[in-house]
Amino acid sequence: MLSRSQAKGFFLVGTVLAAGSFLALTVDSFAKVPELTNEKALDEKVQLGKAVWDRSNCMGCHTLLGEGGYYAPELTRVYERRGPTFIRAMLTNPEAMYPGQRRMQKYKLTDQEIDAVIAFFQWIGQMQLNDFPPRPILMPVATIGSSTVVKQADRPKLFNQLCIACHSLEGQGGAVGPKLDGVGSRMTMNQIDVWLHDPGKVKPGTAMPNLGLSEESIRELAAFLSTLTQGGTPPVTPALRQQ
């Protein structure tokens, strides 16, 4: 049977071996970090972004690289998913973006700090993360009968980043604002154009914020949205709910 000194030996040898291998792998990992994380892009602006991120305790609700509070969305690929326009609007006034929804604290950030946070997200988004976050493999199954996945490629990038955060199309997207299926039958391109310039001006008290979109973006979105007529898409609610 095992003696006490053998047991002690097992502990000491095991610990030294494990600690030694761990240190060696850590040293090797640090040597590879610059390439894996595109460290040359880690400039002063990105550093300021991380400082704002830490100072604001963003990790207390959100996750980044999958680490954080599980109360608010994962932000590793947020630059690609939502784009700078959305992030800027969100950081300026979060509750205007998601009225009546789970609340985010409104931080008093300067324009420079907001730019820095966006740059920080952009840098994080370029890291090689062993395929995290994974692509939602069940999406084609979950949305069977719809052509969403195929069609997404044909939509304006801004639509996939911005509009879809609150509105849904063919069952995909948020539920803060009304569905956009058939919006082209309810509004003309011109009406959409005017609406997107300043929703509150067209309909005082509307929940939709002024996103500060550029003329070019508005033209692109209005042209696309006006093609979403009732015929080609599944049955939709007749009127714009909540407005």
For residues 182-241, which are near another protein according to CB under 8 A?
none
As beta bridge partners, residue 173 has 168
Chosen residue from 112, 142, 237, 242 binding another protein by CB under 8 A: 142
Q: Which of residues 110-129 bind another protein (CB under 8 A)?
A: 124, 127-129
As beta bridge partners, residue 64 has 67
The DSSP-derived string for 152-209 is HTTS-HHHHHTGGGT-EETTEE-SSS---TTHHHHS-HHHHHHHHH-HHHHSTT-S--
Q: Which is nearer to another protein, 187 or 236 (CB)?
A: 236
Q: Which is nearer to another protein, 25 or 223 (CB)?
A: 25
Q: Which is nearer to another protein, 64 or 109 (CB)?
A: 64
Token pair recorded at residue 125: 């988004």
**What is the per-residue binding string for another protein in 91-110, x denoting contact by CB under 8 A?**
-------x--xxx-x-----
What contacts 118, CB < 8 A, 6 or more positions away? Answer: 49, 79, 84, 87, 88
Kindly determine how many residues on this chain lie close enough to bind another protein according to the rule CB under 8 A: 76
Q: Which is nearer to another protein, 41 or 223 (CB)?
A: 41
The DSSP-derived string for 62-104 is SEETTEE-SSS-B-TTHHHHHHHHHHHHHHH-HHHHSTTSS--
Q: Which is nearer to another protein, 106 or 201 (CB)?
A: 106
Chosen residue from 80, 139, 241, 242 binding another protein by CB under 8 A: 139
CA distances from residue 113 to 104, 162, 221 in whole angstroms, order as listed: 17, 21, 28
Q: Least CB distance from residue 41 to another protein, whole Å?
A: 11
Would you say 163 and 218 are in contact if contact means Cβ atoms under 8 Å apart?
Answer: no
Q: Which is nearer to another protein, 150 or 216 (CB)?
A: 150
Q: Which of residues 164-183 bind another protein (CB under 8 A)?
A: 165, 168, 172-176
Q: Which of residues 50-89 bind another protein (CB under 8 A)?
A: 50, 53-61, 63-74
Using rule CB under 8 A, residue 41 touches another protein? no
- CB-facing half-sphere around the CA of 89: CA atoms within 13 A: 18
